[in-house]
Amino acid sequence: MGVRVVVGAQFGDEAKGKITDYLAATARYVVRSGGGPNAGHSIHLPEGPVVLHQLSCGVLRHGVVGVSGPGMVVQPFALEDELHDLERRGLLRGEVALSDRAHVILPIHEAEDAWEDALRSKRNPAASLGTTRRGIGPAYADRAGRWGLRVGELSRPAIVRERLDLLYATKATVPDLPRREELEPELIEVGARLAPIVRPTESMLWDAVDRGDGILLEGAQSALLDVDFGTYPYVTSSHPTSAGALVGSGIPPTAVDAVIGVAKAYNTRVGAGPFPTEDSGTAGEFLRRVGGERGATTGRPRRCGWLDLVQLRYVSRLNGFTSLALTKVDVLGGLDEVPVCTQYVLADGSTTRDVLPTHAEDLEKVQPVYERLPAWPEFHERTKERIRREGASALPSTLRRFLGYITDETGVPVEWVGFGAAREDTVWLGPPTVHARPTGVAAWSG
């Protein structure tokens, strides 16, 4: 298997958790490389649904090590709760490893996050970022400011005391901070409880690379929320790209064998920010209802719209996708047609097919140009059962043409298709056939 990277190709919520869980069946290590408890990966097991926030999907499979990597920001008390919940349900089947280099989200970060977003909204309601208020941004800011607290330092009371002194001094204007004299012993105690799973995970992964073990790097959020290349400022505070996965795990780029982009057959977004293909009418409501589009972490309804190939081409080039996993094709089954955005008309009348405007204000003003493709029949249970039994050959012919269209338009092969929430509702289309492409990217021939 080698090293494979899974990256969200839209605004998040593309069913990355489902695809990662599916691919984890052939992995020895599954590494969550960035983000914190603002992300939720929903996985539908026979025992019921599971939402993972700070643990990787690997912890759900026997013989797999689930790594929470050095690029993460970790809320230790919430992580304990997540571990205890899985243990209570009998679902903690793999090993757990927590990087000693991951940074700690403190209750003061959560207070700061809520205060900052409220301040934005008060000054300008349109400026609210719609954050989850879980302290992710302030924790990453303190990491960059070099006065953050790392997981491995929770076992050193002198360091905990020193960093808290600094943090409370720098955040003196933030209201409603927790009492410092209570927080310090709580952090030392939770550090002691988590100590058995804390280790230098990068050396563990280097040894795994040398042995040829299967390693899966699991993305949180998605490429269009990258702090540098996403729809800034409506982004997360880290790098949910293939490059970010390497930095957040410690694995060198020369070890990577494949980069898999995950996209829905349509598009969604949670929170504020530009969304060119959003449908605010009955079609958008249909996608929200049939697709069950609510945030796994916040429960907020997702904004819904149509597949955007301009964005997909952009993130494909940014991340170096070697293949795509297209999910939730069943949601579109039974429609009369499937709109797909192929290009934007910009404010000056020019068009773009694979480059996004740098400024969110400009992206808000683009006019999407749609190609309307034939839809496929509704996905009844008997259709799903046939696909589970017969594989890709049982996919409806119009859906197969849709997949080929995406491959032709992006230059990236669609290699997996998700047609339901369950583990078994994923079908592999076979190894991609290599063709010479103008972009230098191989495409699956269908």
Please say whether the beta carbons of 419 and 427 come within 8 A.
yes
Q: Does domain 265-412 fall into CATH 3.90.170.10?
A: yes
SS3 category, 418:
strand
Domain ranges of the chain: 103-196, 265-412
Q: Does residue 439 surpass a pLDDT of 50?
A: no
What percentage of the chain exceeds 90 in pLDDT?
87
Q: What are the CA-CA distances from residue 209 to residues 252, 254, 318, 373, 436 (Å)?
A: 10, 11, 24, 43, 30
pLDDT at position 129: 67
pLDDT at position 207: 98
pLDDT at position 118: 82
Superfamily, domain 103-196: Adenylosuccinate Synthetase, subunit A, domain 2 (1.10.300.10)
Q: Is 13 one of the catalytic residues?
A: yes
Residue-wise DSSP of 20-66: HHHHGGG-SEEEE-SB-TT--EEEEETTEEEEESSS-GGGGSTT-EE
Q: Which of 21, 41, 113, 226 is catalytic?
A: 41
Whole-angstrom distance, CA of residue 315 vs CA of residue 312: 5
SS3 category, 270:
coil
pLDDT at position 300: 78
Q: Does residue 240 surpass a pLDDT of 90?
A: yes
| pLDDT mean over 50-57 | 95
Q: Does residue 440 surpass a pLDDT of 60?
A: no
Strands 351-352 and 337-345: antiparallel
Mean of per-residue pLDDT scores for the chain: 93
Which pTM does this prediction carry?
0.93
**Which among 119, 234, 126 has a CA at the least distance from the CA of 174?**
119
Each residue's pLDDT tens digit, 84-108: 999 999 999 999 999 999 999 999 9
| pLDDT mean over 433-445 | 42
Whole-angstrom distance, CA of residue 18 vs CA of residue 423: 7
Each residue's pLDDT tens digit, 335-388: 999 999 999 999 999 999 999 999 999 999 999 999 999 999 999 999 999 999
Each residue's pLDDT tens digit, 251-263: 999 999 999 999 9
| pLDDT mean over 304-316 | 98
- Tokens describing residue 135: 């302290």
**Which among 258, 255, 260, 259 has a CA at the least distance from the CA of 212?**
255
Q: Does residue 432 surpass a pLDDT of 90?
A: no
The identity of residue 97, as a single letter, is A
Local confidence band at 126 (pLDDT 50, 70, 90 cut-offs) = low
The DSSP H or E segment spanning 372 is: strand 367-374
pLDDT at position 225: 96
